[in-house]
Structure 1
Amino acid sequence: MLENYYRELVSFLNAKLGNRQVAEDVVHDAYVRVLERSSDIPIEQPRAFLYRTALNLVIDGHRRNALRQYEPLETLDTEERFCAGSPQASHDQSQRLEMLERALAELPAACRDSFMLRKLEGLTHLQIAERLGISRSLVEKHIVNAMKHCRVRMRAWDVH
């Protein structure tokens, strides 16, 4: 049901932000946020909920960027260099990465490739469509389906 709003929301955010790739990233993050939602209460107005989530992400991003502008470069450099964390955190992250790789391996090739080209190589939907020889609409569906699948599988494996 939420997939129906994907293009509409990307167009809306693109008009606001003036950058289609950033708009697509925000929409992807909004979908992930909605899919990760822990509440069992059904969303009464999915379109409004998705828009609100996306706009909140845009606002949060602007706030973060505004705060970062005032931080000295040394602080930013230090933060990035020393964020590795404990050995346990590294182990947990490694396990989660393995689970993600397993979940992606379960997907059909075009779905997995669309997701990987977007998330790892940063290609636009149009570039992915051209590279894979499929429609942009299908690329969008593949990416959303890959995110859903990975979320469901990761949740299932996390419980056990």
Structure 2
Amino acid sequence: MNTFKICTDLELFDAFKTGDNLAFEQIYNRYWNSLLSEAYRLTGSKALSKDLVQDIFVAIYQKAARIEIKYSFKAYLFQTLRYKIINARRDYLIHDHCHQDIYYRSISENVFPSPLETKELHQHVRSAVAELPKKCKQVFLLSREEQYSHKAISRQLNISTSTVEKHIVKALKILKVKLNYQQIRC
């Protein structure tokens, strides 16, 4: 074990890659505290810092054979930590945004429309679909009511799949405009 203290990081990592678990333990002991301190400085959370640093060492242990380090093992570790922190922040922001969105939607919207509102909406949709251009309406109904795939519609109507997509996009745009207009009038 004392021979590891004079080994470079790359020598230790190479020894670990050949199966020497004591070399990994030495790497872990060399860098755990400094990575943890840096993670805490950047995140302000002890629990998150421990998780991130632990994740780094687990990944190194599991993927050592695929990791190629040419210059500095220390730089590799700290760069990996920075990426982990960036990803954790992104995940937190996405998670937080979703929770806020769900919360604000639940307090600002009536999630369960009344049967009368549902019936009115269906009538508005049917009337808007009836006003679509003939081919556009045909493609839209096959897609939405008959659940046909774009390929199946293109085969049945003898048109390209891109034409099918264009008809559906056109129908959705028309319906969006018509239904928004009808909602304002109601």
TM-score (norm 2): 0.38
Question: Is the radius of gyration larger for structure 1 or structure 2?
Answer: 2
TM-score (norm 1): 0.44
